[in-house]
A and B are shown apart, each in its own frame.
Chain A
Amino acid sequence: GENVEQHPSTLSVQEGDSAVIKCTYSDSASNYFPWYKQELGKRPQLIIDIRSNVGEKKDQRIAVTLNKTAKHFSLHITETQPEDSAVYFCAAKSGTNAGKSTFGDGTTLTVKP
């Protein structure tokens, strides 16, 4: 089955700096890669996603890159703000296997004001 590894597990940055979170996946059948943000005690919410036919996608301060050959994808947050502090999860969704989504173990991002 699919295995998703996420690094780092914790990340602390100063407000205004950039943050990068990386994930690797094992199943070449995975074709959809969403990122979710989970604030303390709340539900995971989609912040950005990328499909396997695209190499990069950007939405304001957030961008995601995908390297299908190397089977890794990354989340980039620029000009970080204290409200970006949360746990971020990457996921890989299979194009077969009933569309099963496998999640990484999360990165706790702390943005210091």
Chain B
Amino acid sequence: EAGVAQSPRYKIIEKRQSVAFWCNPISGHATLYWYQQILGQGPKLLIQFQNNGVVDDSQLPKDRFSAERLKGVDSTLKIQPAKLEDSAVYLCASSLEGLSNSPLHFGNGTRLTVT
């Protein structure tokens, strides 16, 4: 099966600029996650979608981050305006269903550098 696709692979922006990341999950996976992975740390959940509805966005900095999953398939994550501390790898993952014992399948991530 095709894996989770993410783009772009790398992005360098200046602080206060905006940036958007795209994710296409594995076909048939109802649950989609965006994680932020800062160097030397584990992935931290930003937002979780079940189909096209948000089930957890408690750790999403909503003053600057937004995400959507139109039609329950692809998703975009946006940061506006970016801060230096947003420099991280943004990982998209999908799983068959949120509550089941199904593992996460990760994309290759987008490495964001904010200067």
Contacts and interface: CB of A to CB of B under 8 A. Distances in A.
B45 A93 contact: no
Given A42-B108, A43-B91, A102 B103 contact: no
Contact of A89 (B43, B55, B99): B43
Contacts of B33: 101
Interface string A78-103: 00000000000101010111111111
Contact of B108 (A6, A43, A98, A102): A43
B14 interface: no
Interface in B25-43: 31, 33, 35, 40-43
A98 B42 contact: no
Nearest to A105: B42
Interface residues of A, number: 29
B45 A101 contact: yes
Interface bracket on B:
20 to 34
A101 B109 contact: no
Which interface residue of B48, B100, B104 has the most chain A CB atoms within 10 A?
B104
Contacts of B109: 43
B45 A102 contact: yes
Given A34-B104, A44-B106, A98 B45 contact: no
A42 B58 CA distance: 27
B50 A98 contact: yes
B46 to A, nearest CB: 12
A43 B107 contact: yes
Contacts of B99: 95-96, 98-99
25 contacts: A4-B42, A31-B101, A32-B101, A36-B106, A43-B106, A43-B108, A43-B109, A44-B43, A44-B106, A45-B106, A46-B103, A49-B103, A89-B42, A93-B101, A96-B99, A97-B56, A98-B48, A99-B48, A99-B97, A99-B98, A101-B45, A104-B42, A105-B40, A105-B41, A106-B40
Give 8 closest A-B pairs by Cβ, nearest first: A99-B98, A103-B42, A98-B55, A43-B106, A32-B101, A99-B99, A46-B103, A105-B42
